Amino acid sequence: MKTRITELFGIKHPIIQGGMHYVGFAEMAAAVSNAGGLGIITGLTQKTAADLANEIARCKDMTDKPFGVNLTFLPVVDQPDYPGMVKAIIEGGVKVVETAGNNPQSVLPFLKDAGIKVIHKCTAVRHALKAQAIGCDAVSVDGFECGGHPGEDDIPNFILLPRAADELDIPFVASGGMADGRSLVAALALGADGINMGTRFIATKEAPVHENVKQALLAASELDTRLIMRPFRNTERVLTNAAVEQLLEKERTLGKDITFEDIAPEVAGVYPRILAEGEMDAGAWSCGMVAGLIHDIPTCQELIDRIMAQANDIIHGRLLKLAD
C-alpha cells in the first residue's frame, strides 16, 4: 500500500509507532521498523543526550530500516538538553523526527539542514496548520480518543480527520483509536495517509514493558480510561487504577484550589515503577480508549501483517462489492 506517508518516510506500510514514555526504546522501534512500519525511539525517556546517542546506535544494530526519534517539548523550568539531543539525532543518522508538545520551530532549521523529515503531533486543526506553516513535513492528528494528551477541544477523529483533510496540504496520519485494519481503512477514508498507534503497540511481544502492563491492556475495555489534570488544562487520558481514582477524588474535593503538588504522588516519576516494574497501582499512565479493541499480544510483525491483510480484505472485498 503506497500513500504519501510511505513515500515520505521510505516505509512499506503506512503505520507509525508513536513515541511513548518508557516504551519507545530501541527494541520497540526496531521491531516495528523491521515489520514494515516506522518505529520511534522516545527521546526524553533517555536521561542525557549521550544516552539517546547510545539508544540510536542500539536501534541501528537491530534494524536497517528507517526509524525515528520523538522529541517532546515541555513547558518546564528545567529544560531537557534539547540541543544535545538534536545533535545526537543528526549525528546518529536518524531520518525522521516526531515532535510533540510546544512549537518545534527552534529546532526545525537544524533538522531540515540534516535532511531529516519532521512529523508534528497535533490535537487541533489550527495547530496542524501552524505546523505546516513553519515547515513540518507531515503531522499526526490526535483525536480525543487518544492515550496521553488529547488537548482541550475534545474533538474525536470522525470530525477531526476530515477537518484536517479539508485544510492541510501536507500528509497526515490518524492517531487515537487506531488498532487494526478497520482503523486504517477508516482513517484513509477520512483523508489521512496512514495511522499512528501507541497503546496497541504496548500489547506486543517485543514491547519492553512489564507483563502486568500488557495483561492490564487485555483486561481493559473502552470504558476503563479516565481524563486527569483537566483543572490544569493539561488533560491526559490514562488507564484507571487505584491511584487514578484517588487523583480524581482530589480534583473533585479541592476544586479550583488544587495545585500540582497535590497530585504529584500520582503522576510524578511513576512511569518506571509501572511500565518497568509492573506496579499497576503506582500512579497514572497514558492509555487510549483503544484498549477495548486489544484482545491478544502478537509480535509486531504479526500485528502489522494482520492490519494490512484486514485492510486489503475490506477494500477489495467489502467496499468494492458495495460499489458494484
Tens-place pLDDT, residues 232-278 = 999 999 999 999 999 999 999 999 999 999 999 999 999 999 999 99
302-310: average pLDDT: 98
92-115: average pLDDT: 97
Regarding whether 222 and 200 lie in a shared domain, the answer is no
Regarding whether 123 and 235 lie in a shared domain, the answer is no
Band of pLDDT at residue 315, cut at 50, 70 and 90: very high
Q: What is the C-alpha to C-alpha distance for residues 184 and 311, in angstroms, rounded to an integer?
A: 7
- Distance set, CA 177 to CA 102, 163, 261, 290 (Å): 23, 17, 31, 5
Regarding whether 267 and 139 lie in a shared domain, the answer is no
For residue 127, what are the domain limits? 4-204
Q: What is the C-alpha to C-alpha distance for residues 185 and 141, in angstroms, rounded to an integer?
A: 16
DSSP 259-321: -HHHHHHHHTT-HIIIIIT--TTSS--B--GGGGG------HHHHHHHHHHHHHHIIIIIIHH
Quick one: pLDDT at residue 56? 98
Quick one: pLDDT at residue 78? 84
Regarding whether 21 and 73 lie in a shared domain, the answer is yes
259 belongs to a structural domain: yes
Query: Final residue of a domain: which of 204, 233, 263?
Result: 204
CB 93 within 8 A of CB 74: no
In 3D, which of 41, 33, 40, 39 has the Cα closest to residue 12? 33
Conformation bin of residue 194: beta by default, left when phi > 0, alpha when psi is -120 to 50: left
Helix (H) or strand (E) holding 33: helix 26-34
Regarding whether 221 and 176 lie in a shared domain, the answer is no
297 belongs to a structural domain: no
232 belongs to a structural domain: yes
Regarding whether 108 and 132 lie in a shared domain, the answer is yes
pLDDT in tens, 161-200: 999 999 999 999 999 999 999 999 999 999 999 999 999 9
In 3D, which of 97, 76, 2 has the Cα closest to residue 268? 76
306 belongs to a structural domain: no
pLDDT at 115 over 90: yes
Regarding whether 172 and 34 lie in a shared domain, the answer is yes
Quick one: pLDDT at residue 21? 96
Regarding whether 128 and 35 lie in a shared domain, the answer is yes
294 belongs to a structural domain: no
234 belongs to a structural domain: yes
Question: Does residue 192 sit in helix, strand or coil?
Answer: coil
Regarding whether 197 and 61 lie in a shared domain, the answer is yes
Amino acid symbol at 158? F
1-30: average pLDDT: 97
Quick one: pLDDT at residue 96? 98
- Distance set, CA 62 to CA 31, 35, 157, 229, 310 (Å): 8, 12, 34, 38, 28
pLDDT at 76 over 80: no
| Cα-to-chain-centroid distance, residue 189 | 21
Domain count, the chain: 2
274-300: average pLDDT: 98
Quick one: pLDDT at residue 227? 98
Quick one: pLDDT at residue 92? 98
Regarding whether 25 and 148 lie in a shared domain, the answer is yes
Average pLDDT, the chain: 97
pLDDT at 323 over 90: no
Percent of the chain at pLDDT above 70?
A: 100
Query: Final residue of a domain: which of 204, 225, 258?
Result: 204
Band of pLDDT at residue 74, cut at 50, 70 and 90: confident
Total-model pTM = 0.97
Helix (H) or strand (E) holding 250: helix 242-254
pLDDT at 77 over 80: no
123 belongs to a structural domain: yes
In 3D, which of 207, 228, 267 has the Cα closest to residue 31? 207
Q: What is the DSSP letter of 153?
A: S
Regarding whether 184 and 226 lie in a shared domain, the answer is no
Task: Look up the CATH number of the domain holding residue 161.
Answer: 3.20.20.70
All three cell numbers of 147: 492515550
Query: Final residue of a domain: which of 175, 204, 233?
Result: 204
298 belongs to a structural domain: no
Q: What is the C-alpha to C-alpha distance for residues 127 and 53, in angstroms, rounded to an integer?
A: 30
Helices 242-254 and 260-267, packing angle to 10 deg: 170
DSSP 67-85: EEEEEEE---SS---HHHH
Regarding whether 64 and 198 lie in a shared domain, the answer is yes
Quick one: pLDDT at residue 209? 98
